[in-house]
Amino acid sequence: MSVPVTIYDTTLRDGTQGTGISFSTLDKIRVAERLDDFGVHYIEGGWPGSNPKDAAFFQEAAKRTWKKAKITAFGMTRRGKLKVEDDAQVQMLLDAQTPAVTIVGKTWPLHVTEVFQVSLEENLAMIADTVAYLKKHGREVLYDAEHFFDSFREDPEYSLKTVKAASDAGADLVVLCETNGGALPEWVEEVTKKVIAHLGKPVGIHTHNDGGVGVANSLAAIRAGACQVQGTINGYGERVGNCNLITVMPNLQLKMGIDLGIDLTRLRELSFFVDELANVPHDIRAPYVGLAAFTHKGGLHVHAVQKLARTYEHVDPSLVGNERIITISDMSGQSNVLMKAEAMGIPLVKGSPDVNKVLAEVKRLESEGYEFEAAEASFELLIRRQLGREIRSFDLIEYHTTHRHHPHNKVETTEATVKISVDGERVYTVDEGDGPVNALDRALRKALLPLFPQLGNVRLEDYKVRIIDSGTGTAAKTRVLIVSSDGNRTWGTVGVSTNVIDASWEALVDSLEYFLMKQD
């Protein structure tokens, strides 16, 4: 007896309650458009009664046409002392002009009496009044029953009364919220079954990941007959985060055979996009979409993987927009290097001195702190260098940076000079910048651009600095990772030195040399 399952995204509301996550109104619109494009059914855009910025989002959203998703405004049941029509916060819900609204209400008697400071009966009226009022104004109404799974343990009867009140007042869907995030799947399944039996209709599920089982809890509720999963992209959210939709969606559609009507091959792209806008580093170990999700490291495994891909991967990576990656590391045997070189168009012979040369160099550099997993461009240059096949476009003679900071005189200057040799010609440039690396970057491009105008398209996308052995404080070895892009492709390069400027120079040069090499 299977019901259609809908996906309700609260990245823009519950997700923003997470540490370090905040979106501008424009960001929110961009995320919403991408979510709509992807095919989620509901997009909870904000909480206008709590966050004034959110009203701006709904104004913008109202101007647009949405393909499939229903933009949803979030709010609360009316205040205890007020009539629902007099509650400004409820009015703001209507002002948002959304097809759907979700209101959260209190389930746990302790919260009702201590936080709301109203009677248990009044709380039921608050729920019913608010739902009915919003229905009367033509909205689809979802009711979030806060702390449901904890409350049900202490007072199952009252808990059931709250959701019955919402349901009887016309709520289109009751959503059980596992607000504290600590329940285990067995309890979630049991309670969900009971509520569905009591109401005579399916419910939605809204879980958190405090016990590390947020996704499993949502799946358990679906098994019990729930018809909607609420969550966030990449599991953003307060504390440990909300149920991660990026994990739940493929589990439902690929593992449990539930058709959500979405194109999962765009899953990874969606995950990365939202991380980018939220300025959150991608979780390389994210299920399904992480860079490492289908990455094989151990040499022994890789050999077998090449032979029998489907038996070593729980799904075909392309089904979720991901790809199989072979990484280089000190545990890898020849297979890894061979596959990587082949992918670069450099055929190597298994067991050859060439392969061993490359392996030895990789191990040596790794023991010095280099990591090539996100710096495949530096790795390719390394391979070519070892095989005597490197094509260098320029040679460094000298560089020099200077920085002066005099707050009282308002002096702030950073300057870099670069002396390079291109085809035997000496080129000597100087430029300023916002910092030493920027100044070097500009001086270097100034030197190269007249000779290689195509470099004009290359931009630095990301710049990461990591201290390798921080036990030595500011003198520690530094690893710099640069991600560059020409608008089409992106590539990563790495540099290591105790001096962050030298490490950055190294990664910068690799980036430009790699680009120029690819042009030939």
Residues 132-191 that bind a second copy (CB under 8 A): 147, 150, 180-186
DSSP string, 275-339: HHHHT----TT-TTTSTTTTEE-SHHHHHHHHH-HHHH-SS-GGGGT---EE---TT--HHHHHH
The Cα–Cα gap between 45 and 359 comes to: 51
Site residues for a second copy, 231-290, by CB under 8 A, read 235, 238-241, 244, 247-248, 251, 255-256, 279, 284-288, 290
Q: Does 108 bind a second copy (CB under 8 A)?
A: yes
Cβ atoms of 76 and 105 closer than 8 Å: yes
Cα→Cα distances 497→67, 307, 368, 380, 470, Å:
51, 40, 9, 20, 13
Tell the residue number behind the tokens 């499993």, with chain if given: 216
User: Of 2, 119, 318, 402, which lies in the binding site for a second copy, with binding defined by CB under 8 A?
Assistant: 402
Q: Tell me: does residue 346 bind a second copy (CB under 8 A).
A: no
Q: Of 169 and 216, which has the nearer Cβ to a second copy?
A: 216
Nearest CA to 174 out of 154, 155, 153, 160 is that of 160
Q: State how far the alpha carbon of 339 is from the alpha carbons of 17, 302, 347, 375, in Å.
A: 43, 9, 9, 16
Strands 325-326 and 295-296: parallel
Query: What's the min distance (Å) between Cβ of 398 and a second copy?
Result: 4
Q: Which residue lies nearer to a second copy by CB, 70 or 317?
A: 317
Q: Which of 80, 156, 170, 298 lies at the binding interface for a second copy (CB under 8 A)?
A: 298
C-beta of 460: minimal distance to a second copy in Å? 4
Of 138, 200, 212, 347, the residue at the interface with a second copy (CB under 8 A) is 212
Whole-angstrom distance, CA of residue 458 vs CA of residue 76: 49
Residue 25 is a binding residue for a second copy (CB under 8 A): no
Of 72 and 401, CB closest to a second copy: 401
Task: Tell me, residue by residue from 50 to 89, as one string, x for binding to a second copy by CB under 8 A and - for no binding.
Answer: xx--------------------------------------
Tell which positions 470-499 bind a second copy, by CB under 8 A.
470, 473-476, 478, 497-499
**Number of residues lying near a second copy (CB under 8 A):** 122
Cβ proximity to a second copy, 67 vs 405, nearer residue: 405
Candidates 350, 400, 489, 518; binder of a second copy (CB under 8 A) is: 400
CA distance 276 to 150: 35
Q: CB 267 → a second copy: shortest distance, Å?
A: 13
CA distance 229 to 260: 11
- Choices 135-143, 164-172, 291-299, 334-342 (CB under 8 A): range interacting with a second copy: 291-299
Minimum CB separation of residue 499 from a second copy in Å reads 4
User: Residue 97 or residue 413: which is nearer to a second copy going by CB?
Assistant: 413
Q: Which helix (H) or strand (E) holds 136?
A: helix 120-136
